[in-house]
Amino acid sequence: MNAQLIQFAYLASAVLLIVGMRNLGSPKTAPRGNLIAAAGLLVAVVATLLVQGVVSYGTILAGIVVGSAIGVVLATRIQMTAMPQMVALLNGFGGGASALVASAELLSYVRVGEEPTGIVPLAIVLGVLIGGLTFTGSLVAFAKLQELVSGAAVVYPGQQFVNGLLALITLGLGAAMVMNPLGLDPYFGMVALALLLGVLLVIPIGGADMPVVISLLNSYSGLAACATGFVLGNAGLVISGSLVGASGIILTKIMCDAMNRSLGNVLFGAFGAVDQTVSAGASGGEQRTAKGYTPEDAAVIFSNARSCIIVPGYGMAVAQAQHAVRELSDLLESKDISVKFAIHPVAGRMPGHMNVLLAEADVPYENLVEMDQINSEFPETDVALVIGANDVVNPDARTDKGSPIYGMPILDVDRAQHVFVIKRSMNPGFAGVQNPLFFNDNTMMIFGDAKGVALKLVEAVRDLS
């Protein structure tokens, strides 16, 4: 096909990707948006197959078939609660592919003996570096989330010094390559170090901070694709890569803001390792006990309630309790109790995680209300039902300047008339701090697994009427 035409095809593909992303902005148009974006990618692939010089269709087809098979299996088997690790894994493959492409280009320059010019050497180095780091980093994140390895932050003395040193050496090797692109020794060193750095930079980050890391790595994988775009002089790659780069950065920032932590603190703060003990001490001076209640106790209160706000958290995801919760909410609605769901931006382990789980359980999305919209409603609400959430409902974030989560915006459940909290124990949540909510007079703790308790609540409410 005419080279010009192919470039217009890439432009069309980029437009489809942009239009698709725009359609992702509303639940009504989002499925179509996803299809449009996929069509955009398809256009790019088809256009590429028509590039002169692309001839080994067998190899290409084999690769696509193998990749598609794996992709289909992953996408259809994965449970909704496991989305964070799914995204991590896929992201790793994307980064790895970019690193491989940049490497392949370098090797063919070397084979032909022609020196790359202009921005190409730099782009090759960035593609290999960012892509490689994304690859191993994402795999470690996956392993932590899938609990193949411990999710705890792995820290040791001098860690940041070692990482800093390695990063410097890697950059040095990269610079050497830019100077002399055809010398392969620095290349191999750089690849090895980039892969190592991906591991080392992610292990000190606690399991629950993984989504921030994944989002950041997602941004990186976009930038790596962008770099290969510069290597190949392909505007389609540059545009799509930039889109992903921007998207990842924005989501990272949203998560950090919603936790009131800086990105630096997430990446280097080793939250979930040292901090935990320190902070648990901070508010745990006096030793108070919270009273446990039974689902039957709660049912009595429900029988007089007119309104209920359900606050789901990470525990609901772990317990796979979304369907039971949905059942409960249907039951309450059938008793003329208005039910809404209050969704904190970082409830769970991924931004928007709770929305997906509840949508899976057929909760209509109009009932999923964002934090800012619903906070004013708690004082007029009879029951706030907290299911496996902890940090996102910790009033210390509002009042206790000493708390490590001070300043994090929270859901004001403590202002509701009654608060029920379902969790298994008095153990703290991800941030490792005690939650004074549990000791309030209007709080009833109902200990147990989220799913089990939700089902018992259903029974108890049903029995009462």
Partner 1 sequence: MLDNPAAALTIFVLAIFVGFEVISKVPPLLHTPLMSGSNAISGITIVGAILAAGSEERTLSTVLGFVAIVFATINVVGGFLVTNRMLSMFKKKPDRA
Of 450, 455, 458, 460, the one binding ligand NAP (CB under 6 A) is 450
* Count of residues interacting with partner 1 (CB under 8 A): 122
Q: Which of residues 8-37 bind partner 1 (CB under 8 A)?
A: 8, 10-11, 14-15, 17-18, 20-22, 24-28, 30-31, 33-35, 37
Single out the residue of 432, 401, 400, 404 nearest to residue 414, CA to CA: 400
Tally the residues of the chain.
465
Single out the residue of 86, 60, 65 nearest to residue 138, CA to CA: 86
Give whichever of 131 and 429 is closer to ligand NAP, judged by the CB atom.
429
Q: Is 391 a catalytic residue?
A: yes
User: In the Cβ-directed half-sphere of 133, how many Cα atoms lie within 13 Å?
Assistant: 27
Of 216, 249, 343, 431, the one binding ligand NAP (CB under 6 A) is 431
Site string for partner 1, 41-60 (x = CB under 8 A): x--xx--xx-x-xxxxx-xx
Q: Which stretch binds ligand NAP (CB under 6 A): 25-33, 90-98, 422-430, 438-446?
A: 422-430
Name every residue whose Cβ is closer than 8 Å to that of residue 227 and which is 6 or more positions away in sequence: 98, 102, 123, 124, 126, 127, 130, 131, 241
Cα–Cα distance measured from residue 238 to residue 220, given in angstroms and rounded to the nearest whole number: 13
DSSP β-bridge partners for residue 444: 420
Q: How far is the CB of 251 from ligand NAP (least distance, A)?
A: 9
Cα–Cα distance measured from residue 151 to residue 143, given in angstroms and rounded to the nearest whole number: 8
Range 187-192 contact pairs with CB under 8 angstroms and sequence separation of 24 or more: 187/103, 187/106, 187/128, 190/125, 190/128, 190/129, 191/99, 191/103, 191/128, 191/132
Q: Please tell me whether residue 320 adopts helix, strand or coil conformation.
A: coil
Count the Cβ atoms, other than its own, within 10 Å of residue 333. 13
Of 190, 195, 238, 444, the one binding partner 1 (CB under 8 A) is 238
Range 140-143 contact pairs with CB under 8 angstroms and sequence separation of 24 or more: 140/198, 140/199, 140/202, 140/203, 141/85, 141/88, 141/202, 141/210, 141/213, 141/214, 141/217, 142/85, 142/88, 142/89, 142/92
The verdict on 321 binding partner 1 (CB under 8 A) reads no
Q: How far is the CB of 278 from partner 1 (least distance, A)?
A: 31
Of 315, 395, 404, 409, the one binding ligand NAP (CB under 6 A) is 315
Instruction: Assess contact for 280 and 391: CB atoms under 8 A.
Output: no
Which option in ligand NAP, partner 1, none does residue 318 bind, with CB closer than 5 to 8 A by kind? Answer: ligand NAP
Single out the residue of 251, 296, 256, 346 nearest to residue 448, CA to CA: 296
Cα–Cα distance measured from residue 40 to residue 16, given in angstroms and rounded to the nearest whole number: 5
The verdict on 432 binding ligand NAP (CB under 6 A) reads no
The verdict on 414 binding ligand NAP (CB under 6 A) reads no
Q: How far is the CB of 128 from partner 1 (least distance, A)?
A: 11
Of 157, 425, 441, 463, the one binding ligand NAP (CB under 6 A) is 425
Name every residue whose Cβ is closer than 8 Å to that of residue 199 and which is 6 or more positions away in sequence: 136, 137, 140
Of 353, 409, 413, 445, the one binding ligand NAP (CB under 6 A) is 353
Which option in partner 1, ligand NAP, none does residue 289 bind, with CB closer than 5 to 8 A by kind? Answer: none
* Token representation of residue 330: 């249907």
How many H helices and E strands in the chain? 18, 6
Of 89, 232, 319, 371, the one binding ligand NAP (CB under 6 A) is 319
The verdict on 409 binding ligand NAP (CB under 6 A) reads no
3-state percent helix, strand, coil for the chain, nearest multiple of 5: 65, 5, 30
The verdict on 351 binding ligand NAP (CB under 6 A) reads yes
* Token representation of residue 23: 């359609």
The verdict on 113 binding partner 1 (CB under 8 A) reads no
Which option in ligand NAP, partner 1, none does residue 424 bind, with CB closer than 5 to 8 A by kind? Answer: ligand NAP
The verdict on 395 binding partner 1 (CB under 8 A) reads no
Instruction: Assess contact for 138 and 210: CB atoms under 8 A.
Output: no
Residue among 209, 275, 391, 412 flagged as catalytic: 391
Of 162, 165, 184, 250, the one binding partner 1 (CB under 8 A) is 250
Give whichever of 56 and 425 is closer to ligand NAP, judged by the CB atom.
425
Q: How far is the CB of 441 from partner 1 (least distance, A)?
A: 32
Q: How far is the CB of 464 from partner 1 (least distance, A)?
A: 23
Q: Which stretch binds partner 1 (CB under 8 A): 176-184, 219-227, 423-431, 435-443?
A: 219-227
Instruction: Assess contact for 402 and 251: CB atoms under 8 A.
Output: no
Q: How far is the CB of 331 from ligand NAP (least distance, A)?
A: 19
Cα–Cα distance measured from residue 84 to residue 81, given in angstroms and rounded to the nearest whole number: 8
Which option in partner 1, ligand NAP, none does residue 103 bind, with CB closer than 5 to 8 A by kind? Answer: partner 1
Q: Which of residues 150-209 bind partner 1 (CB under 8 A)?
A: none
Q: How far is the CB of 70 from partner 1 (least distance, A)?
A: 5
Q: Which residue numbers are catalytic?
A: 391
Query: Site residues (CB under 6 A) for ligand NAP?
Result: 208-209, 211-212, 255, 259, 313-315, 318-319, 346-351, 353, 388-392, 422-425, 427, 429-431, 449-450
